[in-house]
Amino acid sequence: MTSLHADEAFLGHYQLSHDPFAPRVPGFKFFPAQRKPVLGQLHHLARYSQLLLVVTGPEGSGKTLLRQALVASTNKQSVQSVVVSARGAGDAAGVLRQVAQALNVAHADADAILAQVVQLALTGQEVYLLVDDAEQLDESGLEALMILAAGAPEGRPHVFLFGETSLIAQLEALHLEEERFHVIELQPYTEEETREYLEQRLEGAGRGIELFTADQISDIHESSEGWPGSINQVARDAMIEAMIASRSAVKRPKMGFNMPKKHVLAISAVVVVAVAAAWLMPGRNKAPTAGAPANEQAQLPLGQGQPTANGGAPAVEFAGNTQPMPLPLVGNSQPVMRGPLAEAAGGITEGDDGVPVEGSSATPPTVTTTAPPVGVPAGPAPTPAPAPVAKPTPAPTQVAVAKPAPAPVAKPAPAPAKPAVAATAKPVEKPAPAAKAAGGTWYAGQAPGNYVVQILGTSSEATAQSFVKEQGGEYRYFKKVLNGKPLYVITYGNFANRDAAVSAIKALPAKVQAGKPWPRTVASVQQELATTR
């Protein structure tokens, strides 16, 4: 698949208007709270300081986005911004040529450029000179910019360098006699800022943050270390992997049903021949022996047979057949086992409505076994036996085919099971206090500016109830809808600010911290509750 077709498949699968994580998205502006002071500091230093200003950070840290914000936030009538790139033109000649061209200066030298800057200053205009990829400047390029930054008494440009951390070592290598530059190092996004960044990127492309789960957002933040460029790459890779997995899951079932017709006819012919051979097998038409009809049904309650060597499954011997057949148990014959699933969810051995689960001791299920034709196993046909051969059972009392045994059939005793229902119905309905119920009024009654710690999300309300009951204290949960399915989100505490919530995370038990809890505002929870209603 070509890159163009891959992009089209990606956009079509998620119904995106454009790639939300492309390096350059027109009109995209995201400025978290921690970057706003940096922008204000740059404006302040440009106005009151004569130092060259250096902004550093690793690749993909948002330096270009900060430079764009600086240009966009200046007064266009009083400031002329000149943006140049050191990529491929890092020497003095390359830098001066770009600046002279932007200022309409005929000669690309420092004196001519400074003369133009002075003329603009006399008309009330300042010049901002912003250099991208400044780590690629060589020594001559840096010295030329130092000369421009020093300027003339009548006027000088304000020089900004945006580059990687190695730029600091290059400036220090110039051995300047006095302080000539000021460095501002960018910091990575927090997890909450990563979430806001992803949300704004997706909303710009016509979708929302619901495309990612809370766990995926945590993984993206951890893998990218909070740097915007890495966030873009990791998030896009995660969406493509999910797209491929979903398409594979859709295509896989169809493969078994697209068999050519000639193959289907061949298989049908083999089945017909096998049935005919079984019908004509010697002994097929023999009369059944006395006391042992060919098709006799015996109903036995599970758990009352004697264990045998085939994994504890009781066996029934049929007259005229010397091989015992294993009686199918619940795990082999019934597609749904509520008991083990309920125990796995939280150690509960009863159903949601308090009724003992099918297969428990209170309601022993029964199964029906049909005896095979007497002469079939003894025939010369090479057809394998329908069930694995097990050792003969030492308990012949299980033979319920030759003579009916009314006593075992009548003993399941459904009457004692009903009192058990009444006795167990009440305790099941008591857990889950009303204050912690999903979608309760607790979250609606809190200040929107407060913070809670999100612990985890689960699709099982029983799991959420069990977790809250086990932890106790300030744990509670609410219900939201994600991709059309209910999700039960567990939170902890109620904090006046984000710092208090972060401190509380460090004090949580180790097994709770293993899920990477993160702070979020009460307002965001209230918004999700309103959407769910």
| Phi/psi-derived region of residue 55, left when phi > 0, alpha when psi is between -120 and 50, beta in every other case | beta
> Within this chain, do residues 352 and 224 fall inside the same structural domain, yes or no?
no
Does the pLDDT of residue 341 top 70, yes or no? no
- The CATH number assigned to the domain holding 167 equals 3.40.50.300
| Residue 260 included in any domain | no
11-68 pLDDT, tens per residue? 888 888 888 888 766 666 676 767 778 888 888 888 888 888 999 999 888 888 888 8
Contact partners, residue 368, CB within 8 Å, separation at least 6: 297, 298, 299
> Within this chain, do residues 39 and 171 fall inside the same structural domain, yes or no?
yes
Name the residue among 59, 49, 415 with its Cα closest to residue 232: 59
> Within this chain, do residues 140 and 60 fall inside the same structural domain, yes or no?
yes
- The CATH number assigned to the domain holding 445 equals 3.30.70.1070
Report, as an integer, the average pLDDT of 91-113.
Answer: 92
Does the pLDDT of residue 433 top 80, yes or no? no
Does the pLDDT of residue 302 top 50, yes or no? no
> Within this chain, do residues 167 and 199 fall inside the same structural domain, yes or no?
no
- What is the token pair recorded at 197? 């960044």
> Within this chain, do residues 483 and 341 fall inside the same structural domain, yes or no?
no
DSSP string, 205-228: TT--GGGS-HHHHHHHHHHHTT-H
> Within this chain, do residues 392 and 498 fall inside the same structural domain, yes or no?
no
| Residue 114 included in any domain | yes
C-alpha 211 chain-centroid distance: 9
| Residue 396 included in any domain | yes
pLDDT of residue 6: 56
Q: How many helices (H) and strands (E) does the chain have?
A: 19, 13
> Within this chain, do residues 79 and 141 fall inside the same structural domain, yes or no?
yes
Total number of domains constituting the chain: 4
pLDDT of residue 212: 93
> Within this chain, do residues 302 and 395 fall inside the same structural domain, yes or no?
yes
Does the pLDDT of residue 339 top 70, yes or no? no
> Within this chain, do residues 58 and 122 fall inside the same structural domain, yes or no?
yes
Does the pLDDT of residue 166 top 70, yes or no? yes
Share of residues in the chain with pLDDT > 90 (%): 26
Model pTM above 0.75: no
> Within this chain, do residues 304 and 246 fall inside the same structural domain, yes or no?
no
Q: Which domain holds residue 230?
A: 3-26+191-253
DSSP string, 23-46: S--TT-----TTHHHHHHHHHHHH
